[in-house]
Amino acid sequence: MSLRNIAIIAHVDHGKTTLVDQLFRQSGTFRDNQRVEERAMDSNDLEKERGITILAKPTSVEWTPEGGEPVRINIVDTPGHADFGGEVERILSMVDGVVLLVDSSEGAMPQTKFVTGKALALGLKPIVVVNKVDRPDERIQEVLDEVFDLFVSLDATDEQLDFPVLYASGRNGYANDDATLRSGTLIPLFQKIVDHVPAPAVEVEGVPFTFLVTLLDRDNFLGRILTGRVTSGSVKVNQAIHALDMDGKVIETGRASKIMAFHGLDRVPVDEAKAGDIISLAGLAVATVANTICDISVTEPIQAQPIDPPTLSMRFAVNDSPMAGREGTKVTSRMIRDRLAREAESNVAVKVTESADKDSFEVAGRGELQLGVLIETMRREGFELSISRPRVLFGEDENGGKTEPYETVMIDVDEEFSGTVVEKMNIRKAEMTDMRPSGGGKTRITFSAPSRGLIGYHGEFLSDTRGTGIMNRLFEKYGPHKGKIEGRKNGVLISNGSGEANAYALGPLEERGILMVGVGEALYEGMIIGENAKPDDLEVNPMKSKALTNFRASGKDDAVRLTPPWKLTLEQAIAYIDDDELVEVTPKTIRLRKRYLDPNERKRMSRSKAA
């Protein structure tokens, strides 16, 4: 059986996972009457909830051309969000071709540029699929022109520029060479993959087994599971193997206790795997991503693709609030250290460093969403944490000057809101690089902006555009430091004691700002209970109750009517806090608090910083 290895790459929400669903169905991987969840490849709980792909996952389908031999197509479904770009970068070394999916209306977006640039640099020849051609606002020809211009700007070769094009609707399960057709099957896509993507150019006979690890997983019974593509030779169950690091040093020696190939959504045990196969392998306890697993006669490692560095970091620490340990089961710094070490091992885009006092950890990643997903995952596992405000990682230029990360920001917004967006981005030291109509009464504005200025802006952006704006961001470069950028304009309301929030006390406080707590919620001194309408922080008493006397009131007391509190999501809370504030995260609750709970200590620290 011949073999093809491909990755499906695209910007977030352009339909990769939905298309893979249809490839499963039309290749016969699922029975006609088999119940399968929509977006079957999004198996993680957070992926299902958010509707986005977070982890790159290999799968496999078999397809037989009419009158031909069956072909196994190994497919890797990749994340579309820039924050999870590390997943895309490393899996591209496993494949021989890519299917680039582009929305027929939105066109080439920032993440399209990122993943396509990586694929072209590796010499992969893409098949371009214009997806969602049944959209009423489709602009197919303009989108194709954008893709061609993008390839040219990324220094594509003449061979890569001569890409085949298909017009598809992943949801409806058809792809055609003709842009006007709105029915059919995905047979043209299968045929294009077989014709256009080369079979793996590898040596099987007479060469030792080598295998580069690109994904790491764990199993309760098998232990560490390493996934990647067999680069040369073949491997059998119980064969002696060892792991080499990037310098060629032997990390550990063991045996291939289990070899698994991908068949649809399942990993199926096999006795032998040959060069070109994408497999999972168990039997080693220490080997990790970017290590070379090979026959014990091999001493030269396979060179792994370099990964772009992280640009943003947060401080993870033990939860030391008065309510610590009430809801979580994993509350010690040792547990947090072990969990973060496991994350850094399997996720090459995350870097973890321990502080000098051993009580906190600096976790660096690609963006707020990536770190937010990590925190949410840990929270669901029973961890309690206190999280600091995100900060960008600065660098130095050749002359010793300070540099900071910049991002390309592409905004699609209704024309009536474009002035507000440009004004707000200018305040954040962003420079507009392009502005053009994008169809449907929307304007596409592109900025080059320091990452520092974008922290916390997304919520404000949605308010400014009445929820109709779309913002996409992508790391661009390290550039000159832009100086001070204005942060949050409003102060916060801080509880001056511990107890339960009282309706009698909260009523008058609504005039001071926006409340984040409701009646009966447990509070402690130093906890943030709302946003002040003025720039300064204000200490208030939300527990004050009405004094009881033996005098009758003349008439009935008015009932207190409270506005529902403003409940922040985890990402909103992380983006909202200031440098002297923390987010307290537990399995059930997200609270905001001051770093120093005691008011006298807060004043002392603010004076020392001012000095």
Last residue of a domain, one of 254, 274, 295: 295
Distance separating alpha carbons of residues 506 and 598, to the nearest angstrom:
22
Q: What token pair was written down for 203?
A: 């040596």
Q: Is 196 annotated as a binding residue?
A: no
Residues 97 and 187 reside in one and the same domain: yes
Check whether residue 161 and residue 59 sit in a common domain.
Answer: yes
- End residue of a domain, out of 246, 279, 295: 295
Q: What is the mean pLDDT of each run of 10 residues along the chain (611 residues)?
A: 84 76 73 47 52 66 83 80 63 86 83 79 90 88 90 88 91 89 89 90 83 83 87 91 89 91 83 89 86 90 77 90 90 91 81 82 84 88 92 84 88 87 90 82 87 82 82 82 83 91 88 89 92 90 79 59 86 87 92 91 81 57
Four-point Cα dihedral 571, 577, 583, 587, nearest 10:
-30
Residue 247, Cβ density class (10 Å: 0-12 exposed, 13-18 middle, ≥19 buried): exposed
| Residue found under tokens 């990324």 | 154
- If asked whether residues 167 and 26 sit together in one domain, one would say yes
What pLDDT shows up at residue 384?
A: 93
281 inside domain: yes
Same domain, 62 and 188: yes
| Shared-domain flag, residues 34 and 167 | yes
What is the pLDDT at residue 551? Answer: 64
226 falls within a domain = yes
According to the model, what pLDDT value does residue 242 have? 93
Amino acid (one-letter) located at 346: S
488 within domain boundaries: no
Domain boundary pick from 295, 329, 357: 295
Q: What is the pTM of this model?
A: 0.78
Same domain? For 164 and 228 the reply is: no
113 is in an annotated binding site: no
One domain for residues 171 and 215 = no
245 is in an annotated binding site: no
214 is in an annotated binding site: no
Q: Are residues 168 and 249 in the same domain?
A: no
Cα–Cα distance measured from residue 95 to residue 276, given in angstroms and rounded to the nearest whole number: 9
Q: What is the pLDDT of residue 37?
A: 47
Domain shared by 61 and 18, yes or no: yes
- Give the β-pairing of 492-495 and 538-540: parallel
Does 14 show up as a binding residue in the annotation?
A: yes
Residue 17 labelled as part of a binding site: yes
The total number of structural domains in the chain stands at 3
Q: Note whether 232 and 146 are same-domain residues.
A: no
Q: Is 133 annotated as a binding residue?
A: yes
Q: What is the pLDDT of residue 607?
A: 82
The pLDDT, as a whole number, for residue 610 is 64
Q: What CATH number did the domain enclosing 449 receive?
A: 3.30.70.240
Which residues have CB under 8 Å from 23's CB, separation 6+?
61, 75, 186, 189, 190
Contact 403, 480 (CB under 8 A): yes
| 38 and 161 both lie in a single domain | yes
- In this predicted structure, what is the pLDDT of residue 557? 55
Residue 555 Ramachandran class (φ > 0 left, ψ -120 to 50 alpha, else beta): left
Q: 565 in a domain, yes or no?
A: no
Q: Which two tokens stand for residue 325?
A: 């340990």
* 132 annotated as a binding-site residue: yes
The answer to whether residue 553 sits within a structural domain is no
Whether 578 is covered by a domain: the verdict is no
Residue-number span of the structural domain to which 420 is assigned: 395-480
Residues 238 and 175 in one domain: no
pLDDT at 468: 81
Residue 356 falls inside a structural domain: no
